[in-house]
Amino acid sequence: MSSLVGPDEDREAGKPEVPEDVQDAIRTLISWAGDDPTREGLLDTPKRVARAWKEYCVGYAEDPSIHLSRVFEEVGGYDEIVLLKDIPFQSHCEHHMAPIIGKAAIAYLPRDRVVGISKLARVLHGYARRLQIQERLTAELAACIDEHLKPRGVAVVIEASHACMTARGVRTPGVSMVTSQVMGAFREDDRSRKEVLSLMGY
């Protein structure tokens, strides 16, 4: 039985439509960079790039705090540090739209509720999948956890490599940037701050 869908339509099935003006913008960039957007290898590149960026920036379509809406209060009296570390993430810098690739450590000191650990990673990805700077990503993540879990303390440390520095400009590979944000008990009590940073490996 012959298919009623042509090969081009079949290849596009289930994929979001890409407006022509978006494709034209990418063709303009390809041409400005020095290549021919009409050559065979680049014919479908505008659609691929547009869809990739829609995926890279999917965080704009969600409110990361939604992942903290379900909490658990039966914790058996546990009131010590909850830490999730070495969480890999990828973002893109808002200055050059170049990749930021790194890992995060997220800790909080619960007051009367905890959240499923996967939710901490989901909040991170919600903010990371936008155009970002690392400093703001760190602050947004800490503030979201503080506001919605209302713990006694929050600590976030992010370590990442920035392609805008490693692949262009100063072109210095092997360099990572570390940012931190501490709130509540982790800011006010030096011993608690040292304890959580030590558990994170810093």
The active-site residue, picked from 92, 93, 132, 159, is 93
List the catalytic residue out of 12, 23, 62, 94: 94
Catalytic residue among 9, 95, 135, 188: 95
**96 is annotated as an active-site residue:** yes
* Known active-site residue 94: yes
The catalytically annotated residue of 67, 134, 140, 159 is 134
The one catalytic residue in 12, 23, 62, 96 is: 96
The residue from 132, 148, 162, 181 that is catalytic is 162
Pick the catalytic residue from 12, 57, 62, 164. 164
Q: What kind and span of H or E run contains 177?
A: strand 177-184
132 is catalytic: no
From 58, 51, 61, select the one nearest 91 (Cα to Cα). Answer: 58
Helix orientation angle between 45-56 and 20-33, rounded to the nearest 10 degrees: 110
Has 95 been annotated as catalytic?
A: yes
Q: Is 162 a catalytic residue?
A: yes
CA 160 – CA 202 distance, rounded (Å)? 14
Please report which residue ranges of 13-133 form alpha helices under DSSP H. 20-33, 45-56, 117-128
Sheet of 99-109, strand order: 131-132, 82-93, 99-109, 153-162, 177-184
| Active site positions, annotated | 93-96, 134, 162, 164
